[in-house]
Structure 1
């Protein structure tokens, strides 16, 4: 990285994609605000990179806390160049008619509302400086429905459309927007959270498969941010080679 030292603000930075993304930016010389609910999980990151990483305890679902966190950033971290809206989750895989409404609320509150709270808090500064980049973590679930994906897929469709609409709103400001949409990815807490801590169920998702890794996703995020200022990468969709498309299902009467 030459010239201006970038500052990245990464949500959900304690594990998985977020930790890998924070590490990738820090390794490239950027300052990183590593935000997560579990600040203890950020200790290793801060120890590895020292004062260039600022651990920040933050629940993105808390609108007031997001605003206060951004307003309270130390001067050397205040001019955020790249916001990586990574915090998100899937809860449950039940059909809609059996799903837990608390799970649905948690997904909407984190994947949609938390994402827009962070964007709204940081965008004014980016626009004022005439530079910046919002990178939202979506999912192929936004585009390819699957049984049990109901609200999770819908929240990621929101992320995609919000990203596109941000591009329209930010026309002429110099601020860039990218939506990164990974497919099957392992080595994170994603499936453990989805299955309420059932490690066996989570492991079965990746049995016999080489999924994407957190580092693969981090590399895509970093690559989008590393493009020249006149280049905007609108959407990145990536899947492991082992994952492809299936035919539409057809239900047939048996009588």
Structure 2
């Protein structure tokens, strides 16, 4: 019986690439994102090992409902990848848009916390694995970056969750990419990391011996 990975932000980019890589490695995947048409197309591509769960990760009841459906469909959840996130169109504090900040915090921080809150009861049953999408921007100071500050939260929270989850045999890994060629950016970045590179890092962390916890995988482009 295959293990099950719950992924948010699963319809494109890193999330979709991770879904494909995880299934290729023998996992089943429960895929949550707002884009129902893209999710459906991805599940049609992957087949029976995938389940589409359209929903908004910034709405806790929707996340809880998606997790319940995933656990019922696959018989449990062995890992969760809190991957959904966004950047800012108008960076900076003086010139930034406070409403856009709210949306950023709701997705990059609250959405991640909701994913953890909803999945931890299932992960506790399986001594499972929580993975979080951090960023190089969460490891280095960038002039005035509010986006980067949300990723500093992710890195700090990931370390804290590692210490909490080890009490019951669980693991937490922060996946920390540099610039990735995904729809996150308005223009293509073909010389940077590809989503498949990050997907490989996620699967590598998942497939470690249960006695070993990779607390962070930091991936930077060579170009």
TM, length-normalised to structure 1: 0.83
C-alpha contact (below 8 Å) 1:62/1:114 kept by paired residues: yes
Q: 1:231 aligns with which of 189, 192, 212?
A: 212
Residues 4-27 of structure 1 deviation map (CA, whole Å, 9 limit, x = unaligned): 511000111110000000111112
CA contact (8 A) 1:42 1:55 kept: yes
Contact 2:137 2:152 in 1 (8 A): yes
Measure how far apart 1:46 and its partner are: 1.2
What is residue 77 of structure 1 aligned with on the other side?
Answer: 74
| 1:143 aligned partner | 139
Q: CA RMSD in A?
A: 1.5
SS for the counterpart of 1:241 is coil
TM-score by length of 2: 0.95
Residue 49 (structure 1) aligns with: 46
Matches within 5 A, 1:1-255: 4-73=1-70, 75-129=72-126, 131-147=127-143, 150-186=145-181, 188-192=182-186, 202-203=187-188, 206=189, 210-242=191-223
Deviations 1:154-181 (A, max 9, x none): 1101111111111121232111100011
The runs of 5 or more residues in structure 1 that have no matched partner are 193-201, 243-255
Q: Which runs of 5+ in 2 are unaligned?
A: none
Whether the 8 Å CA contact 2:67–2:118 is kept in 1: the answer is yes
Alignment partners' CA distance in 2, 1:230 and 1:74: 24
Query: Which 4+ residue blocks in structure 1 deviate beyond 4 angstroms?
Result: none
CA deviation vs aligned residue, 1:81-116 (integer Å, no higher than 9, x gap): 110111001012532110011211111000100011
Provide the C-alpha distance between the structure 1 equivalents of 2:161 and 2:120, rounded to a whole number of angstroms. 10
Shift of 1:43: 2.4
8 Å CA contact retained: 1:8, 1:31: yes
Further displaced range: 13-22 or 93-102: 93-102
CA distance in 2, matches of 1:78, 1:104: 38
